[in-house]
């Protein structure tokens, strides 16, 4: 058996002892949002979250958009799976109904990408998070009424207004 040199062992130990606490103190990027024009900050429970918005969406390739839609759906199903036992039998129907309402069942991810692209072509929607565009687009595919879609669009424009242009200083 080969024994590591003392200096190597000390270097390894120093890396573990001194590197780990700094890493442990770092918050995940999603929970510690930085100013980013491709993200919109929104509240989730009692913390803020940096959601990818329409500017971020429109910068993606078609394949990346399909992957993002698939990731949103998989996140929904993961949440159901992880909370199934915790909610108790009486509330499991709520999880089932939510998963049914928020998944792309019966449609392709490519169809969802087209709908989300169309959503962001509407005026004033660039700041809306992709997850809300996803919800709107799913309602569109499932043939929600025009009135319901208009109400949701108005609510989203109000919740995530476009930033006001910064005036140039006068010289």
Provide the residue ranges of all domains of the chain, joining segments of one domain with +. Answer: 53-159
Judged by average pLDDT, the poorest of 20-34, 35-49, 66-80, 102-116 is 20-34
Q: What is the pLDDT of residues 65-78, one digit of tens each?
A: 999 999 999 999 99
Q: What is the pLDDT of residues 21-36, one digit of tens each?
A: 444 344 455 555 457 8
Write the DSSP symbol of residue 91: G
**Does residue 51 contact residue 39 with C-beta atoms inside 8 Å?**
yes
- Helix (H, G, I), strand (E, B), or coil: what is residue 129? strand
Query: Both tokens of residue 112?
Result: 């969802």
C-alpha closest to that of 112 among 60, 156, 154, 73: 73
pLDDT at 30 (0 to 100): 55
Residue 159 has pLDDT above 70, yes or no: yes
Could you tell me if residue 143 is left (phi over 0), alpha (psi between -120 and 50 degrees) or otherwise beta? left
* C-alpha torsion 154→72→57→147, nearest 10: -20
pLDDT at 46 (0 to 100): 87
Say which residues have a Cβ less than 8 Å from residue 80's Cβ, sequence separation at least 6.
95, 96, 98, 99
Any idea what the Cα angle at residue 96 is, between residues 54 and 105, rounded to 5°? 55
Question: Which three-class secondary structure string do you get for 39-90?
Answer: EEEEEECCEEEEEEEHHHHHCCCHHHHHHHHHHHHHHHHHHHHHHHHHHCHH
Residue 87 has pLDDT above 80, yes or no: yes
Long-range contacts of 62-67 (CB under 8 A, 24+ apart): 62/113, 65/113, 65/116, 65/117, 66/109, 66/110, 66/113
pLDDT at 74 (0 to 100): 95
- Helix (H, G, I), strand (E, B), or coil: what is residue 93? helix
Percent of the chain at pLDDT > 90 equals 61
Residue 64 has pLDDT above 50, yes or no: yes
**Does residue 62 contact residue 70 with C-beta atoms inside 8 Å?**
no
What mean pLDDT is predicted for residues 88-97?
Answer: 91
């Amino acid at each position: 058996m080969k024994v590591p040199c003392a200096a190597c062992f000390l270097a390894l130990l120093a890396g573990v002892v001194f590197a780990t606490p700094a890493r442990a103190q770092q918050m995940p990027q999603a929970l510690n949002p930085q100013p980013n024009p491709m993200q919109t900050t929104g509240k989730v429970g009692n913390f803020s979250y940096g959601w990818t918005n329409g500017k971020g969406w429109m910068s993606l390739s078609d394949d990346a958009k399909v992957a993002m839609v698939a990731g949103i759906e998989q996140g929904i199903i993961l949440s159901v799976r992880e909370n199934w036992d915790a909610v108790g039998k009486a509330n499991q129907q709520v999880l089932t109904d939510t998963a049914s309402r928020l998944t792309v069942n019966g449609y392709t991810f490519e169809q969802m990408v087209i709908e989300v692209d169309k959503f962001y072509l509407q005026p004033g929607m660039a700041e809306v998070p992709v997850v809300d565009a996803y919800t709107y687009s799913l309602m569109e595919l499932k043939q929600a009424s025009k009135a319901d879609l208009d109400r949701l669009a108005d609510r989203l424009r109000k919740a995530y207004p476009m930033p006001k242009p910064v005036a140039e200083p006068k010289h």
